[in-house]
Structure 1
Amino acid sequence: MPDYAELAEPPRILALIALMGWDGASAAGEAHAAAVPERAELVADAWRTGTRNVVEISDVAGIPVGVVLGDLAAQGIDIADPDAAPAPQPEAVAADTLRELARQADAVISPLVEQTAPGPLTTAAWQLSGVYRDMSTLLGGTASARQRAEAIDDLSAELRIALYHAHLYRASQYTPRELAEQLRLNAPDISVVGAAAVGADVALALDDGRRISVRIERQGDDGPTPGWTTLRSDDPVLETNLGAHDHLELQSALETIAQVLGRHLCD
């Protein structure tokens, strides 16, 4: 039985945990400089899954930065080359399996989506059937470059739409105060992701050429609704009252920002 809690972790975090657990991570002296293939693979996995800060990799592995650079080079990774092709990641699932999943899901869900109001979960499931189809295209090995590019674009779009409707469903199940409390209690572990975004300043470009500044913030424990998202702007064109769905989407965006910036933190 797989550990579903572990599978839910971002690949970057799993790669760092694996690197942290490397048997030689506590070794000292010359052992660090030894060309250890297993360690080099773990270092490369950390890099490929998004940890692009060699200082962070060095700290996690307990090895000098120079050794990290050597391990990356040994795995064919040139961190100074912005045009270097990314190394392909192995996939455990076969294209035929995903193609069959897509066929079955589409046969069941497509008729339901044609209804007037299919609902957020049905709509999310419909998008996921497209996700399976696009994944099978990418894994099949017969698609043209154009077909692959379209499948990659569609894959990202379908996942965004599915997430949108997942947020819509969640927002329909709880009051705003309950959602805020969930966020307050289940905030990301800063020690794992490196940081937590509690606010952001956004410059919003309007179609009339104007730019307005917006402050997105999470209420602290001293606020009227701890954990709730607030908006502030000096421009009256922005309506700052947020609904439950707005709150969930903005917090998801802040979490993504924190994950990206956390990968680039230096001690």
Structure 2
Amino acid sequence: MTAPTAPTAPTAPPWRIHGLSVEGYRHRRQGLPCQDACAYATTSHVAVLAVADGAGSRPRSEEGAQLAVKLAAEHFARRAGAAVEVRPGEAVHELLRDALHDVSKEFLGRTGADAQDFATTLTVVVLAPGWLGHLSVGDGFVVVRAGTENGERQFHLLPQAAAASEYSNETVFLTSPDVARWTHTECVADDGLDGVLLSTDGLAQAMLNRPAGGAQSPNTSFADAVFRSLDTAAEDDRNTHDGSLAALLRSDRLTALNADDKTLLRAVRTPGR
């Protein structure tokens, strides 16, 4: 995981953030590295979270995923940090698309003629005062915690990017032709939003319910446990957090559901902020 960017002002955003990527059972057995990556950045008033899933069939996808989240954390934070007057609506969608353009341009510039060897998905969330911006390229997903119903916390799956065609479930990558056409952006304005979770498809079976013929929805018990462990963290002990989350992601229960690499990046609102 890319090291978090230090706040650029004395007052950090009101979010506690933690995440990790681990190699799946299949890669551990084959002695291959994790091809997922995650990173985040904070400024005085925004936080940016990014996850990526390198294409398993491409020889340098591990590097591609790491580069994608690094560039996303930098460029989305720069765009959002400079746009202090942006309000929910089309301006947020434009900001997200412009930031992706910056990321894509630098990604392709760095990888050059071998760009397809670095193919990776990318999912980004920007947390700003008054709104959440979400951009997805490929099959990553985002779950938010917002509001209560009958005293129970409510969890919501944000809309995901469409498949590359109605006849195919092929994943779109940052290096795919006409990537902007398949990029999905979302803007959420909800004062009750106090948690957000990003993941790659390695956790889809655990995190999402897939009823026959129905729309996907979050697995509320799993989501609640994942958020609650960060809510109740007594102090910012990174080693303890990393160890606990790594144990969960490598657990037999989750491995039985999916042997792929797994990433979980989460943010919860700091009490009183």
Q: TM-score, normalised by structure 2?
A: 0.25
Higher relative contact order (CA 8 A, sep 6+): 2
Higher strand share: 2
Q: TM-score, normalised by structure 1?
A: 0.25
Structure with max Cα Rg: 1
Higher helix share: 1
